[in-house]
Chain A
């Protein structure tokens, strides 16, 4: 919701207006108070018919099952499968989603901390103020001892106008910090599950479109998506060249590959559109991280251990050093 941008009204005028409007609600049937900020589509005013989405029964064809193991205490989630090529949504088949990804407990404080990290860790504050030594005006004593003037030793002191600043910002200061990678992962899963809870999740067959594509505006109108912002996440295999041409100029539709998925983008857009081919890779990656053991000791640098590089130490098999005589090989 935008912050409401109202014109300034003087207190007297505001009182007058409220007195005038006080009795108007008694008679009218659709009274809307003047200080209420409304969403763009209001069914009371605009008479818009919203299509009802049919319920999923057990007999419907399941076109995608979960790749990874589903925990015993949870069930896989089924969602209708859509297609970018179809003008109207045909509720034919259903896709199963993994509960660890889309049924996480919605912890808002984790979401907040992740969003804050995403926005802050890149920030660098370049403000820098001069101290009394850096002003560059010299060390001359302004005036010598007199009865009717205060003591002074330098005109750069912080007490003076145009003098140095004593406790000010000192140079580029980075607000970089690291969040626990487990909380970052949890934040992603919570964002995905919130989209599912609030019915903002759409799953499409694929992001690959053929050249003879039906009207995109018609597609959005039939699903009441003409003024909602959408984020489409696709796998790297898919050829998005035709989709990109379609969607180049629109402000409301953004495309993102899987490796760019993050919490801020998910929450910024109204609807989240996922392509079916991307779900396998997502599941595999997330569950690997969720079910792995922690490091034994401290994580070591893989790049130093790789063979065939200048970093790795080579062992001479022709002239080996004797065992035990030197402290190291």
Chain B
């Protein structure tokens, strides 16, 4: 029996030593021990006989204007609340997770697929994250055939995915839709009818109507031309797409005002009974129409 176990000198030692008991165990002598902050040479409170609640406020300087007031203001962080951030996703990461089996290459790869496969942890992110940025690092080893939908794409990343036989498209999701897609179960448990996805803001319209980036608001015919141009530029043969992929490129995509594929806005998902409730009233139908 002991031959079948993985070889380690630690285990052969244990075989000959006395039985491990509740009295034999010891703490790790090399472990870090946390000390309370009020004792020792770097004590936070009770230092020099002064209590911390008596000291003046942070930044206070006696008898002169403090440093932070002497220097004039300048708008370094002027429009920070209007900026958008994107999660970086490299091709190397994608390939690794496909190899591990966390991403299914037979199904379309969306924000939910990436979140469910624990590739990126996007749940609970700060309020200015709007999606995923597909980067080109790992282009020399990428071989997976995937249908991806991201928010921003690099040119080389586009070329590698299409060379491997997949398709890429970019789409805009507002903050609320992005949060809903990252953790759809929590969104459905709220019990509210599904909202309508917003259209991109003014500065992003030119990006998403551009066929070079495979934008979702662009002309599908022009996308076909751009694919051939890219192949010429980088020097590879364009592989043939299957009928499902062609269908996805033209008709099977989500509507620009739809959040979840197959679910219309205005409907409610009942997870307990596993049903979808669709509005019958005309007023609601009009309001929810895309």
Contact = CB atoms under 8 A, between A and B. Distances in A.
Contact of A305 (B116, B118, B189): B189
Interface string A1-24: 100000000000000000000000
B185 to A, nearest CB: 8
A270 B1 CA distance: 20
Contacts of A194: 14, 20
Contacts of A293: 118
B133 to A, nearest CB: 21
Contacts of B31: 109
Contact of B28 (A109, A115, A270, A320): A109
A162 B244 CA distance: 89
Interface in A255-289: 264, 267-268, 270
Contact of A297 (B20, B23, B27, B186): B186
Interface residues of B, number: 46
B27 A109 contact: yes
A267 B189 contact: no
A89 to B, nearest CB: 15
Chain A interface helix/strand/loop/mixed? loop
Contact of A108 (B4, B18, B26, B182): B26
A164 B216 CA distance: 77
Contacts of A317: 277
B283 interface: yes
A76 interface: yes
Contacts of B27: 109, 112-113, 116
A144 to B, nearest CB: 32
Contact of B4 (A75, A296, A305, A328): A75
Contact of A267 (B18, B21, B191): B21
Instruction: Give the bracket for the number of chain A residues in contact with chain B.
Output: 35 or more
Contacts of A163: none
A106 B10 contact: yes
A179 interface: no
Contacts of B245: none
A317 B284 CA distance: 13
B231 interface: no
A108 B25 contact: yes
Contacts of A109: 27-28, 31
Interface stretch (B52-60, B203-211, B266-274): B266-274
A323 B266 contact: yes
B68 interface: no
B10 A79 contact: no
A213 interface: no
Given A1-B23, A296-B115, A112 B28 contact: yes
B20 A198 contact: yes
A115 B191 contact: no
Given A197-B15, A296-B115, A103 B186 contact: no
A97 B280 CA distance: 58
Contacts of B26: 108, 112
Interface of A: 1, 56, 73-79, 99, 103, 105-106, 108-109, 111-113, 115-116, 194, 196-200, 264, 267-268, 270, 293-294, 296-298, 300, 305-307, 312-313, 315, 317, 320, 322-324, 328-329
Given A103-B5, A196-B1, A317-B277, 15 more contacts: A75-B4, A78-B4, A106-B11, A108-B25, A108-B26, A112-B28, A113-B27, A194-B14, A197-B2, A197-B14, A270-B19, A306-B272, A315-B191, A322-B284, A323-B287
Interface of B: 1-2, 4-6, 8, 10-11, 14-15, 18-23, 25-28, 31, 115-116, 118, 123-124, 182-183, 185-186, 189, 191-193, 266, 268, 271-273, 277, 279, 281, 283-284, 287-288
21 contacts: A56-B1, A76-B4, A77-B5, A78-B1, A108-B20, A109-B27, A111-B25, A112-B26, A112-B27, A112-B28, A196-B1, A267-B20, A293-B118, A296-B182, A298-B124, A307-B272, A322-B283, A322-B284, A323-B193, A323-B279, A329-B191
